Structure 1
């Protein structure tokens, strides 16, 4: 271990350092042979998350409101996430009107427009109904953080406890955004999940890992055993490492795998 990463353990309650503060890679493997357009990047995010089970195929959006812009890139109604390609991506304005693209977008897009309006940090908003998230949503509970990857969600989850039906108007979406507050992940009771991120890399990793976290939590729950407690002091540093380093590694590997199997996503 290099001197740069040696830490004092005199105080076990002191938060551990993590992320780029501890170590940063000097070089990373490329994601693709050339740079991806924004539409190609978002199309890849849809297919990556579909592979992770983050998809109920008649539902859900990912929106990307790029810095300094009000319009959002989004998937159209009628395509499953695992068949979205770059040329299918639409753009909507801040009031959910389609301004570019060949397909339509459902009123459920207001979930996204109102979160983008309320949250400057939420550049990407992911919403769908992945299975293991929905199991816990049906129970009206957040996942217990039983594995180190769950550190990513420390202090960043909220449960919206009351099911209110379809969110299909700006007013209903505004009310939902108020309930979510500044949480990066919101589990919607008897519905699904909303995940936010600063960019597609962070949001995709957070979403994919959340479905896995819910599956782990449920599998531990049904054993009837008591999981080991993760020390908060250790989780703080791990959270930084996951978001600042692991997200990029996850994205790179997931997209390289996708492009080998489904190169048409870039079309």
Structure 2
């Protein structure tokens, strides 16, 4: 029987000596993304999952151990698995969420350009995913995503490998996916890039639900000219190295570190 180790006793005080510096760097970033999600209220208890590819020739990626809350995830506790689901490193012995493997391995296999994949079940994201029209052009936040979002029809809890083909077909070449009746997903060329896309999408969904609280009859959609203009201005979608991504991420990390986070351990 697997015993859940208390996070405060499981974390190492220094980088694990058995992990290459390049891998450790992405571990730290992914752990920060988990703890930022907890800080921003994006969590669903121990469910949902963020992942990042491990630098190197092998197709390995990192994901959360199944049982830790997001604010308990640190660089040293992440699970490393290969693209076929074989666990390479599982420090706490907790294994992984099967739905996390099905979703993330599908994207990492089909879209090697997306190094990081972040998936949430937030109240606002799930609410928008349950609307026939999906994300609406109601706010500046939403306009950056309008026409850039892919949709995947709900088939049940994502445990079956045969759903991977349909999920990938729906995602296509886009970076952002709304899983109908389920939640949100964003992929990027780095953890920072995926986090920037998810952060904006979460805000857009929250604004949409707030606007709809007054009734759909009074909603004011942005004019088409504005939609087209903001689409051109939202360069972070096309440019994963845009300096605004680093600026956004650095500010989030400063906010996290003011709380004395142990994500680097």
Q: 1:145 to 1:51 in 2, by over 3 A?
A: farther
Which residue of 1 is the match for residue 189 of structure 2? 198
TM-score normalised by L of structure 2:
0.80
Task: Say which SS state the counterpart of residue 176 (structure 1) adopts.
Answer: helix
Which sits farther off after the overlay, 238-247 or 172-181?
238-247
Aligned 8 A contact 1:49 1:204 in 2: no
* Aligned match for 1:238, one of 226, 229, 233: 233
CA contact (8 A) 1:186 1:195 kept: yes
Secondary structure (helix, strand or coil) at the match of 1:91 reads strand
Q: CA deviation at 1:150?
A: 3.0
Report 1 or 2 for greater relative contact order, CA contacts < 8 Å, sequence distance ≥ 6. Answer: 1
Contact 1:77/1:104, CA 8 A, preserved across alignment: yes
SS at match of 2:162: helix
Q: Aligned to 1:144, which of 129, 136, 143?
A: 136
- Is 1:259–2:240 an aligned residue pair? no
Summarize the alignment of residues 50-65 of structure 1 with structure 2, pairs less than 5 Å apart.
50-65=38-53
2:145, 2:231 within 8 Å by CA — same for their partners in 1?
no
Q: What residue number does 2:160 align with? A: 169
Match 1:106 to one of 97, 102, 107: 97
CA 1:241/1:97 → structure 2, altered by over 3 Å: closer, same or farther?
A: closer
Aligned to 2:151: 159
After superposition, what is the alpha-carbon deviation per residue over 1:154-212, rounded to whole angstroms, capped at 9, x for unaligned? 4320222x321111132222322222222211111111122111100010111121111
Q: TM-score, normalised by structure 1?
A: 0.79
- Return the offset for 1:51: 1.9
In structure 1, list runs of 5 or more residues that go unmatched.
Answer: 1-34
Give the Å deviation of 1:66.
4.0
Which piece of structure 1 moves more, 241-250 or 186-195?
241-250
